[in-house]
Amino acid sequence: MEEYFSAIHKMEQVVMFPSLLRGVYMEQQDDTSTGDFGNRDLYEYYIQLKSIKLIVEGRLEPLNESKHQITSRDEVQENEEEADLEGLLYHHFTGLYRVLTHLTRKANALTTKYNEIIGQINQSEMTHTW
């Protein structure tokens, strides 16, 4: 989890102008950290990553979090889950680890792409001033 928060913190520190990410898409590469960006631009991912950070930190309730009505089916499932709490904990911890690793890769890839954009802007400004 430390790597996740570190990657998000670095992304927040580097990305000073998130609007520069609008309309920018990650090139498809063989690297798994960039291959999962889909059809959304990097600005959408930036907003998503920041929102998820707030959820993980406990500042916001997840969007689908509502007052759950317990049904008899839910109660039965809960009783079954209590029988194997260690297995259940391992399952959820493993899933959380996978999600955080995935989000860490996305944050790092987004930060790298933003640095490339800023580098191109700076180089363009330098060539126009000569």
pLDDT digits 0-9 by tens, 82-123 = 667 878 877 888 899 899 999 999 999 999 999 999 999 988
From CA 111, how far away is CA 15, in angstroms rounded?
7
From 39, 18, 29, select the one nearest 107 (Cα to Cα).
18
Q: The pTM is what? A: 0.65
**Which helix (H) or strand (E) element contains residue 51?**
helix 42-56
Inter-residue long-range contacts of 56-65, CB under 8 Å, 24+ positions, other chains counted: 56/1, 56/4, 56/100
pLDDT digits 0-9 by tens, 19-73 = 999 999 987 544 545 456 678 899 999 999 998 888 888 765 555 544 444 456 6
